[in-house]
Every structure is written in structure tokens, then in C-alpha cells.
A and B are shown apart, each in its own frame.
Chain A
Amino acid sequence: MAIGSNYSQWTINSYLGRINYDFNNKYLLTLTLRRDGSSRFGVNSKYGNFPGVAAGWNLSNEPFLSNIRWIDQLKLRAGWGKVGNQGVAPYQTQGILARTSYAFGDASAFGYRPTAIGNPDLRWESSATANIGLDFSFWKGRLQGSLELYETNTTNLLLSDQLPGSIGFSAVTRNVGHTRNRGIELGFTTVNINAASSFRWTTDVQFTKNKEAIVSLYNGAVDDIGNRWFIGQPLNSFYDYKKDGIWQLGEEEAAQSYNSRVGQIKVHDKNGDGVITGDDRVLIGSDVPDFSAGLTNRISFKNIDLSFFFFGRFGHTIVSGFHQDNNALAGRYQQIKVDYWTPQNPTNEFPQPKSTQEFPVYNTTLIYYDGTFIKLRNVNLGYTLKSGWADKLGMESLRIYASVQQPKIWSEYRTKYNGVDPETSGTEVDSGITPATTVFTFGINAKF
């Protein structure tokens, strides 16, 4: 009998120092220094040093600004800090064996063989972030918010590096390189109307933009196709064949020359050499959006209050597992509804079904979609009874409300390709995710 155990142990040894300095609530300074040692790293690289410095300047407390009446608050912040990440499983520095099963006659012959190649050079991943921020409030709070710019350089990034199968191992955990994230985060609230009639309208705006790029890898600024790591691109980039369309009637000869035929996928011949090979794969995109934004409006008038919230992400690519796993186009399995080619329907979207195929050749060209979406996340409408009326009912207060969560999603992936929720935390939209739901709620809040 096989008895399994997942016992593992790891230790960390840390030293920490911090200095806080505050002068007249105008100048603020924090210095920190950490020294961490982790059992997960190599003998000569167990320790890492992680300093940090943060400074703040309360401009609004300066005499030269305190007389400007429309400025409530203005604070400039800047910082630089390094943090460590030991995000690898324990024992990655050692070679580990895996159990195998075989038999001689009827006698079990379990065995052990090398499965994980040790990397004695593992060291701390560290992220150095420089940021500059501005907190502001103007016109007695009519406009307030904050703006933040940052750049994070992550070095000695810890990742699993895929290895060629012929060496007998599939991957090794190593410090693979250097990535940079640059971004901007802006959030502010405006009070648009605040009338004496008790009509009030406020708006919250959030905007974030982050650009992730690989700066260099273990062997310099060289692309690594095996891991799909490309210099200047986000870590999670999609690199694959690209569909130019579907071979149409009249293109029989060209299709034949590509070992394909009319009705099948026309794959982009990047190098134009007349055959489709691994060299014809291209960068399709990444799962990092160009930017994302949110917009909330709150309106209240007398006893009625209304709010609605929009959220959107723009410009990223999603991978639709449905269009691979449920898209055999062979008639044998259940099939997602797609716009497939027939002589009468010369579409460029999906190939002609074919009963002799396991799945369409180059079917991974069918799974990448623009992930852009805008969602109306929620709408809330409420009515609060006047306190006199509530008293008569023996209540302290009474509010009647209706709300709807996610009543509308604008997304080409849904409307054109019958996809489900394009907003996913994982890398793939497939049967493992919960479809988008719309929830209607009617309620009463009563206090006695």
C-alpha cells in the first residue's frame, strides 16, 4: 500500500529596523531595513537585504499655501522600497525523486527516479518600487482624490523555467530575469450638485493603467519562446498561430499548397515561405489590459437615493477554452454555437465541420478574443420613509430598496461569439468558471 505524506517544513529568519521621522506635520520620513533568510534558497544565497525609504511633504501646511482658500489639502509623497519574495515551494534547491509503478509477474515493482532537478543557486526575488503620489482636496471637498505614479522593477524573478524534454526533466525553478511594471492610478470624487433642495449628485472615478514588460532574462535581452517570454512584453503573453480567415471557394490551389483545403482555417504565413511551421507563430496579445476604469454615480433627492456603477477593462486578450474544448466541429460531441463556414456561408470566422477530424487543424487560432468589456456592475434605488411615518408604524426607520447586480455586459466576446463572462481571474474562460449572473434584489430595511 502506498501511504502518502505532504509534510514539508520551511523556516525564515528575519531582522527588521525602522526609523520614523515627522517634523511639524510637514516633513515625514520613514526608513526601513529588513534582512531575511529563507530555508528555501541555496546555501550561499539564503539572505537578502530589503531597504526602503518613504518621504511625505504636506504642502498645504506650508505658509505659502495656507492662504489659498480653495486648497483644503495637498500632500506630496515619494518613496522607494525593496521587498523580497520567497514564492517558491520548499526543497527546490534539491534534486527529488518520484515514485513509479511497474510489476514483475504479479509482484509490484515500485521504483524511484529523478523528477525534479535541484537548483542550488536559488535566491530571493526582489521588487524595488519607486512611487510618487499626490493627495488632494479642493473647494471644501468638492474635488478630492489621489494620483499615484509608480515603477516596479522586479529582479531575480522566481519562476518555473520549462526545459527541453530530452534532458529528462520538464522544468526547473530559477531566478529567470527582470521585469518592469510602470503604472498610474488615479482616483477622485466630485460633488457635482449639492443643492439646497436636497438634490445631491456625486461621482467617483477610478482609472488604472499598468504596463508590464520583461526587461531581460537569464541570458540577457533574448526572447524565450519555450516559456513564452518576450522582451518588452508582459510575462503572460500568448504566442501562437494566427488565423487570417477561412480558405474560400476559388482559393483551392492556395489552400492545397498549404496542405489545407477550402473551408478550413487559413493560417497566417508570417515568413511567407509557403508552408506553416512553428516559425509562423506570432505574438497574439497578453492578459494585461491597456487600462481599466470605474465610474460610480450617486444621486439623492429628498427620500430617494439612486446609484449605479460602471466598470470596464480595455485592450487585453482572453483565451476562451470553450472555443477549444467544445468546438470539435466534427459532429460527435456537443458543440458551442459558432458561425461556421459552408459554401453558402462563406464566413471567415470558423471552419467547415468535418466528421473525420478530432478537432479543426490549428484550432488554437480560434481561442483568442479581445477581452474588452464594460459592465454595469450594479444599480441601487432606495426610498427612506419619513421618520414621522416610520414612527407611526412603530419603527425607528424604514427603507425600501431595489437593486440589480450586473444587469448589462458590453463585450464582443459575448455578443458575437456566444462567450460567457469575459472577466476572469484565471488565464482561461472555460467550463471551470462561473458564468455571469444577474441578481435582482428587493428589500426592506427596518429598525425598531
Chain B
Amino acid sequence: MNTKNIFKPLLVLGMVLLFAGPSCKNLLEEELVSQIGNDYINTPKGFEDAVNAAYSSLRIFYGSEAGLTFTEYGTDIYSVGADGSYKGFHFYDAQLNPNVDALATVWDELYRGINTCNAVIERGPEAQGVSEEIKAQRIGEAKFLRGLYYFILMQQYGPVELRLQETILPTKATSKATTGEIYNSIIKDLDEAIPVLENKARSANYGRATRPAAETLLAKVYLTKAYSADKASDDFSKASALCENVINNYGFTLLDDFASVFDENNQENDEIVFAVQYTSNPLDNGTGNRLHLYFGMQYDVQAGMKRDIANGRPFKRLKPTNYCLTDVFGERVNDSRYKKTFKDTWLSNKPGTYNTAFDDSKSQVTFAAGDTCIFIPGYEMSKEERAKRPYQVLVPSKYSEALFPTNQKFFDTKRPDLTYEPGSRDYFVFRLAEVYLMLAEAYLQQPGNIQKATDAINEVRYRAGWPGKKDAMLITSAEMNFDMLMEERARELAGEQTRWLDLKRWGNLLARVKEYNPQAAGNIATRHLLRPIPQTQIDRSDPGAFPQNDGY
């Protein structure tokens, strides 16, 4: 065989594709068209948009299912209702574990918010085309938000990662900071934010963080730190000074009527220091304020009733504890807050004749539209007395996980239909009444200031009195003590996403849950002072880098 033969059958197919064009280098360059590249934040509009985005993370916690779960479930004033998710937060049982989705949802979103704040704070000084004043103010807003997000994270999850620079490159090298480092960072952010934020009660762009909002947050931070291992001797005095400033210097006033604070038509009222914004515009409302969903009782299957918008969602997630109803809200002659916090009367929206269910004083009831068909007197009304009433009376011995006085602070009657979930009500993060209560607490903890503490709590109590009974609400300094303060906060703020944090701050979460919440009493343990770190955070970090909280 010769070489000629070997190469004879050789077939060469060669193809070279060359594109006519400027150059091959440009050919393979990518240019974003329908999406927005990261550099946008460096433009004037992009800078403002990044600040807007930093606010949006507030909604994952305030007015959300997860936020309510993290702050009111499993306390001395709320226990489990019949329906719904996340019952482990009520029971402190094995249902509360690192795989619960809400733990990661809140964690991830708050850190996205923090990363956005980091971008604003880092890149802001270089932003072009923004006035120096606005630039400083916006950076201050981002610092306020970053401080708030870290404060939420630390209270719930304990020592967490402290990231103060925008994440530019992917990394799995995470680590836990100490609570001391996190407190320092929060306080530094707020100290820097306060002088540059708008010095007035409300921003022209209602809902932006203002100076009093940041001062209230800082007061809360000092108040919380004062009980912690990171405490300093002047924490309480710093807290009281900040509260005094918020109360005296911006024109906030307590509304005369406790109920009007929660009037849907009066959301931007003189008592609101900082509110997370929700609207009736589905385009910007996201998942909406959802607190209207979870406090309702199961009125809709009772005689004469069907579900409607005005009476709200019968979701029965949170049931007030006996302690809440009989002790905290026990005094109802002078104090209007039992009546104004809890819905106790339902008017028939489904007329007809029905058998009774929970009221054994009669076997049948007949209603015309608008007749009272359920009444909760709040005490054990006798059978004889009930028999005189042409409607069902729900007495405390018949309260159940489905039937109980219903917290009506968050009812949302402006929803377009009864199944519509995204509520439009603003969520009040800080309102003046709480600032007074924080002031009372801070003074109570500073020896020699009991009169000031009494004066502060009396502001809140006086307002809460029925007309003509207001003076009877006032207490003397001899009556002022820590029990009074703890119950006053529950009376004023029930359901307002603060109770679990209060108990944790005071260091008596375990003791009070054991005493007042029988469903959780047998389970709650020291580990429950912190939530589990989301399993995803641990798994996705470098091996061993991010340990789980003890006991989970």
C-alpha cells in the first residue's frame, strides 16, 4: 500500500464562520436592555430608587404573618387559636425548628434589605446629581433602616452576621458577630442618622423615617440593651432622654379616644411616630397589611351570621389567654380599652331562625337583618339573664379556640371583597402612647424617678378612660410598679407585634409563659429566648462557619 492510496479517500471538510461586523470582541458583549444593571444605583434616579427599595423590606416583618407570629404567639396574652400555621411558635414544641419556612423568609428578606442599605450608604456619597442635603438625608434613612433591621434580627435570632458593606462577590464565609458589636453598630447608625433626618413629626413623603422615628428606635434599643448582658449604666437614662425629646419637641399628641387611633379613616394621625406604609393600590401594596386576617373568631358559622367584609376573616389564629381577658383587661368600668380592643357584638347578616350552639339558655333564635345575634358580655352571665336576650350570649366558660373576644384593632373594611387578603392599613411601628410607656419604663428603672414614671404612664391611662371616668384612671406613685407597667403595655398594645419582645427584654418570657399560658408552659425552655437559625443559612455557609443556636 503506498501513501497515495492511503490519502485518496481522505475527505476534508473545513468550515470557518466569520461574522462581518465591527469586531469579534464586540460581538460577544452583553448589554442589558429589559433588565436594570447594578450601576443604575449610581445615577440620581437609581439612588432614590435604591432608598425606596430599602424601605420595602419593612413589610416582611411589620403587618405580616411572620412578623405577628414572631411577636405575639406564645406569650402571656395570646395562645393558640384553632386554625393556621406556625403553631410551634405558640407551643414551643418540635414544630418550632430550623426548617420552618418563615424563619428563612424573614431572615433572607431583612438581609436583602440590609444589603440594599449598605449599597445606599456606601455609594451614596458618590451619587451624582443629588443635592448634598437630600443625599445626607437619604443616607440617614438607610442607616435608620439598617439599624432597625439588625435590631429585629438580633432580638429574634441572637448574635447574627453583621455585614456593613455591600456584597459584591458571592461568598459563603459567614460568621456571627457578638451582640455587643451589633448593638454598637445599631447605635452608631442611629446616632449618625438622627442629625440628618427630617426634623419634624412627619415627612412630606409620609412614611419616610424622620428624626423622632430614629430617636424612638434608639430609645427602644437602649431600653432593650439596658436589660441585656451588654448593658451600660446610662442606658435607661439615654432612653428616657430620647423619649422626652420625642414627646416634647415635635407636636405629637395622644388622641382623645383610644378607638380613634385605630380608625381606618384616620391613619395618619397625631399619635403616629413611624408607620410602615400600605395602600389600596394593588400595584404598590405587595402582600398588604395582613394583620386583619388572624385575630377573628369563627362567627361565620354561627346562627344568623355569614362571613362578610365588615366582620372580617374568621381565621382564629390567636386567642387571648385567660390572663389577658380577666387580669390585664379586668378593669372595664373606667378603662375603655377592653371594649375598644375587643369586638363583642355581631349583627345578623343572614336573617332567619336557627338552633343555638353555645348558649344553652334557649334552643332557637330568630333574627332580622341587623339584629344582634352574638354578644360577648365578658363575664359569666347567668342562664336566667341570658334567657331574656333574644340572641346567643357567649360567656367565658364557652370560650374555645374558635370562639373568643376578637381583637378589632386591625380590621380592614376597605378590602374590595371578603376573600381579599392584602390589607391597606398602615402598620404603626411606633406611636406616641408607646413612647410614653417606654419613658415610664425607663424612669421606673432609674432610682428616684418614680413620680416621672407615674406621670408618663398616667398620660396613657388618662386617655384610655371612658369620658367622665378619666380621672379615675390616674394612679399614684405608690401604685406605680413593674407589674403595673407590664400590664399597662399589654392593655395598650395588645396585638401590636410587641409582646414577645417585651417579655424577652424583661427577662421573664419563660416565667410568664409558664404562669399564664398553660398550652406552652410545659414546653418553653431557655433555648426559646432565641429563634432557630434558618437551616439554609447554616447549610449554605462554609462548613461549621455558622453554628445553630443552642438547643435547636
Contact = CB atoms under 8 A, between A and B. Distances in A.
Contacts of B112: 113, 115, 168-169
B178 interface: no
A167 B170 contact: yes
A190 to B, nearest CB: 36
Contacts of A438: none
A101 B56 contact: yes
Interface in B472-527: none
B33 A117 contact: no
8 contacts: A39-B27, A103-B285, A110-B284, A111-B50, A112-B53, A165-B537, A166-B174, A168-B112
Contacts of B28: 11, 13, 37-39, 46
A100 B117 CA distance: 14
Given A8-B33, A13-B24, A111-B54, A358 B86 contact: yes
A126 to B, nearest CB: 18
Nearest to A46: B28
Interface string A87-104: 000110111110111111
Nearest to A167: B167
A1 to B, nearest CB: 7
Nearest to B38: A95
Contacts of B15: 15-18
A227 B51 CA distance: 32
A166 B284 contact: no
Nearest to A358: B85
A278 B87 CA distance: 21
B48 to A, nearest CB: 8
Question: Counting chain B CB atoms within 10 Å of each CB, which of A11, A166, A226 scores highest?
Answer: A166
Contact of A23 (B6, B27, B98): B6
B17 A96 contact: no
A277 B35 CA distance: 41
B30 A93 contact: yes
A96 B35 contact: yes
A222 interface: yes
Contacts of B52: 100, 102, 109-111
Nearest to B206: A105
A112 B278 contact: no
Contacts of B36: 96-97, 99, 112
Interface residues of B, number: 98
A293 B116 CA distance: 54
A166 B107 contact: yes
Given A22-B9, A114-B41, 10 more contacts: A9-B33, A15-B16, A91-B30, A97-B38, A105-B205, A112-B50, A117-B168, A165-B540, A357-B87, A364-B99
Nearest to A8: B34
A91 B284 CA distance: 27
Interface of A: 1-2, 5-11, 13-23, 37-40, 46, 90-91, 93-97, 99-115, 117-119, 161-170, 172, 174, 222-223, 225-227, 259-260, 275-278, 332, 356-358, 361-362, 364
A23 B112 CA distance: 65
A161 B171 CA distance: 10
B95 A357 contact: yes
Contacts of A22: 9, 11
Contact of B172 (A11, A110, A164): A164
Contact of B284 (A7, A102, A172): A102
B216 to A, nearest CB: 19
B537 to A, nearest CB: 5
Interface of B: 6, 9-17, 19, 24, 27-38, 40-41, 46, 49-56, 58-59, 80, 83-87, 91, 93-95, 97-99, 104, 107-108, 111-112, 114-116, 118-119, 160-161, 163, 166-172, 174, 203, 205-208, 268, 277-279, 281, 283-286, 534-541, 543, 546, 548, 551-552
A443 to B, nearest CB: 48
Contact of A162 (B99, B534, B540): B540
Contacts of B552: 277
B111 A166 contact: yes
Contacts of A17: 13-16
B50 A102 contact: no
A6 B33 CA distance: 9
B95 A278 contact: no
Contact of A114 (B24, B115, B541, B543): B115
A1 B282 CA distance: 11
Contacts of A168: 111-112, 114-116, 118, 163, 166-167
Contacts of A358: 84-87, 95
B10 A164 contact: no
Given A7-B34, A21-B11, A91-B35, A1 B170 contact: no
A12 to B, nearest CB: 8
A170 B108 CA distance: 8
Contacts of B37: 94-97
A225 B543 contact: yes
Given A91-B35, A259-B94, A225 B539 contact: yes
A102 B277 CA distance: 7
Contacts of A38: 28
A112 B41 contact: yes
Contacts of B167: 114, 117, 167-169
A278 B30 contact: no
B98 A278 contact: yes
A103 B278 contact: yes
Contacts of B206: 104-105
A276 B548 CA distance: 12
B277 A105 contact: yes
Nearest to B116: A113
Contact of A103 (B87, B94, B277, B543): B277
Contacts of B16: 15-17
B55 A102 contact: yes
Nearest to B114: A168
A259 B52 CA distance: 44
B30 A40 contact: yes
Contact of B283 (A6, A90, A108, A278): A108
Contacts of B80: 356
Nearest to A106: B279
Contact of A113 (B29, B54, B94): B54
A7 B111 CA distance: 29
